[in-house]
Each structure stands twice: as C-alpha cells, then as structure tokens.
A = this chain, B = another copy of it.
Amino acid sequence: MASDVVCGATRSLASSLIPLRGQHQQSAAPCADELRASSFLHHSFRSTALVSQGVAARGRAAPRVRCVAEPIQKEAVRTRVKRNVNLGKLQAGYLFPEIARRRNAHLAQNPDARIISLGIGDTTEPIPKVIAEAMEAAARGLSTLEGYSGYGAEQGQGALRGALASTFYKGLGVKDSEIFVSDGAKCDISRLQLMFGPALSVAVQDPSYPAYVDSSVMLGQTGEYDTGVQQYRNIVYMPCTPQNNFFPDLSATPRTDVIFFCSPNNPTGNTASRAQLEELVAFARKNGSIIVYDSAYAIYVEDDSPKSIYEIPGAREVAIETGSFSKYAGFTGVRLGWTVVPDELQYEDGFPVIRDFNRVMCTCFNGASNIAQAGGLACLSPEGLAAMQELVAFYKENTRMLRATFTELGFSTYGGVNAPYVWVQFPGRSSWDVFEEILTKADIVTTPGSGFGPGGEGFVRASAFGHRKNIVEAIDRLKKLYGK
C-alpha cells in the first residue's frame, strides 16, 4: 500500500512510535515522497491537533527528521493492525456513492446545469399526510409521559409485526413472530450475511443490486475480484438477460448455500412469474439452499406475479424474505423495513435459522426508530394502504412514460411494468460511457447497468422516481439527445 507520512516526531512521542517499515524508515528527507503519498491517500496528515493538545509542550525540540518544504513538525504512528483482507477485495466505491461523486463533479464543472436524477432510485414525492401525521404524533408523544417509549423489542413493535403479517402475508401462514422489523432491507441483507458467516457459498442474479455481492465479499464468502470477467471468484453469477427472459437457467446453475433473488427486480425491472418462482423454490429444495428473496418492490406488481415468495408452496422451508417501506411510502429517509424468517427454515443440523437471526438482531441492532414504526403502522391502516397505492400509481405512470419514450426512440427496453425501473439496452456500448453521455449532454443521472454486475454491461437503468415535471423534462432532453 501507500507509503506512510512521517516528517518529524518530538522526542516524547518518538519513544512510543511504532517503527515504520519501508523506504521512510531509513530516509532522512522523505518530504517529497511523503507529499505524493499523502496526495495518493487523499489523506491530509494533521499534526497541529497534537501540538495544540500539549504534546509539544511536554517534550518539544530535537525533531528526528527536519523538513525543508514543510516547517511544521509532523508525527505519525501506524497501528500494527492488519487490514481485513476481505475489505481489500472490494472494487472501487459502492455504486451509488460513486454515481453521486460523478454527478457532483459534473455539477462542479457546470454549475448552471439543472440536473435531473433518474439514478439512485430515490423517492421524491412527499409522504402521504395520514402517514406523516402518525409520525408527527409519535414524535410529539415522546415529549409526554404517556407517549414516551425507550428501547423497544429488537424485533419490532408487536402491533407492527402483526399488521405486516395480516397485510402483506394474509393467508400465507406467516406468523407475527417470524417478522423482524428493521431500519431497511439493505441493512438486513448485511445482518443476514453476518448470520451466514464466511463459509457459505452464494449465488446472485447478474445484474443485481450491489449490496448482495459487496456484503458477501466483506464477509469473506468470495475470492478475489477477477478483472477479466469482472466478477468475484466463488460467487455464482446467474445471467439474467433478454435471451433468457431475465430468469436464470437453473439447469446450468451450480448449487450454492444461498441464492439472492430480487423480484420485481432491481435493476432490470422484470418480475418472475409464478411458474418461474415455483422452479426456483424446487431448485432450492432439491439443493438444500436458502433463498433470500428481496421483495422491496412487491407493491408495484400489477399482474398476477407473486408478491411474496411464500405464495409458492414449499417456500417456507427454504426462503427468507426481506421487504421495505422505502418505495411503498417514500420511507427512503425514514428507514423502515422487515425480514421474514419462517420457523421451518433449518440448517443442515436441524437448527432453526430464525433463532440465529434473532440473536443477530438482538446483538447487532436495537430496533427501528419508534417514530418510523409509528409511520409503518399508519402505512398499514386502510387509509395508509390507499395512500401508498396512490403514490405507487404515480410512480408507475412515470415508469410508463419513460418506458414509452425509450421504446419510441428505438431502444430495446425492458422492465417498467411491475417495477419502477426501466432497463434500456445500448448494444455494443459501455454502460459508464452511456451514463457519462446522458449526464454530460442531457444533465440526467441514470445508473450504469454494469454497476450491477457484468451482466448489466450495455444497459442503463432509468429510475421512475421523480417529480412529474422532471420526468417530462427528462423525456424532452432524451428525445433531443437520441431522437432521429
């Protein structure tokens, strides 16, 4: 890795300095290299704090190394802690912060650009009043003796667990006690991974939401990144392309312990049919695998595709399901989701998975915000459900408009019926190139398909979350950019 930055040390601290390895240990004048190293690390070394905290006063003078370029004394100590090798395997930044970085860079160069985001999939419309009012009341209540609550159950409030079971899992046999309320599906994915541990093998749809793969890498379930195929070793990537109607060829898919499966899918916007999910469940049962079914967009389903994996007979013994209020009620900032772990789901040794997940939730989590939970409960009231449906219908109209536009412009366009995402093909082109083209020429942020895995190369994802006037304007700009 990069060299360290050492320019000087006072005598008092020098005695406790860890010897530095590498070139600087012997160097008497490392300043030039140091500055480069510092720049490489994007890491400005700060000695002033130490000085101001009295270190200098306790033992100044006799610096070991004198700098010409920088008169201020510098001191550095590295720990002897080895970096987690699994974090070292991760490539670049997490996708969405990287998009934000490029967006901001574009804005810095073009301060007048009126950027429209069809990118990260962030909700834009206000939370329905009936739901916001419930959170308002909960917040107000916290300042009263009657309304105050402290630590809740790590698994969530009983009323909310019950309402989730009776609303989204009615008739599917999901018990309140099998539902764990959380601060979001993404957070639950990493808690599930923490539960699974480093020894398990994992399969993902390709392309897929990056949190599955990245958390898998972090936990040590994978090998190194293979830049040739742009995949991590020891992950099974299940190609989901127009050729296979976005459903993996399971006959050619090796067994893994865990299968992450998202439907309606992020990013492709496609939805698995009942027959396909029956095939998936049968595959998991045959292989003794655990499906982690991400149903974060289930409410967008308008045809008879299943909204829950538990609609499929036999799923309770092989599937975990995670869900979220983010795209249902605009809770992306409020943070509320849930995960279902059925009692029947067992490890090889017969131990119930739910007990381990409960332990993880109790040890690594402290419950979702009580205010957010009050909002979740309001979402599931008759008025809340109606309001959510109205909100979803609004985004779905955006989706329809975007899909029609890309189709009209001659692109092969997928998804966008049961999901708020349109998946647009740019044959033979790099996703990041198209991303840059749309960003720089139309001031529109999309998401490059390759950010979701190599199977997304040649696509961009357009998210339909946006104010209507922005969607309309984005459509105008896209027509200017790509119209004949």
Contact = CB atoms under 8 A, between A and B. Distances in A.
A364 B190 contact: yes
A18 B332 CA distance: 40
Contacts of A94: 359, 362-363
Contacts of A138: 139
A390 interface: no
Contacts of A114: none
A348 interface: yes
19 contacts: A1-B350, A49-B173, A49-B316, A50-B173, A53-B311, A79-B257, A81-B196, A81-B257, A81-B258, A83-B348, A83-B351, A84-B197, A87-B197, A93-B362, A127-B143, A133-B140, A151-B333, A198-B220, A218-B363
Contact of A142 (B43, B135, B346, B350): B135
A145 interface: yes
- Report the copy number of this chain in the oligomer: 2
Nearest to A57: B313
A80 B287 contact: yes
Contacts of A58: 313
Contacts of A356: 83-84, 87
Contact of A18 (B93, B151, B187, B285): B285
Contacts of A346: 4, 78-79
The 10 lowest CB-CB distance pairs between A and B, nearest first, are A49-B173, A80-B288, A84-B197, A132-B143, A190-B364, A1-B349, A150-B332, A333-B370, A135-B139, A83-B347
A136 interface: yes
Interface string A309-347: 001111011100000000000101111000000011111
B49 A195 contact: no
Nearest to A148: B126
A122 interface: yes
A252 interface: no
Interface residues on A, range: 35 or more
Interface in A35-50: 37, 41, 43-46, 48-50
Contacts of A54: 313
Contacts of A143: 126-129, 131-133
B183 A194 contact: no
A369 interface: yes
B81 A347 contact: yes
A230 interface: no
Interface in A120-167: 120, 122-129, 131-133, 135-136, 138-140, 142-145, 147-152, 154
Contacts of A196: 81, 84
Given A151-B120, A347-B78, A86 B126 contact: no
Contacts of A128: 143
A2 B350 contact: yes
Contacts of A263: none
A29 interface: no
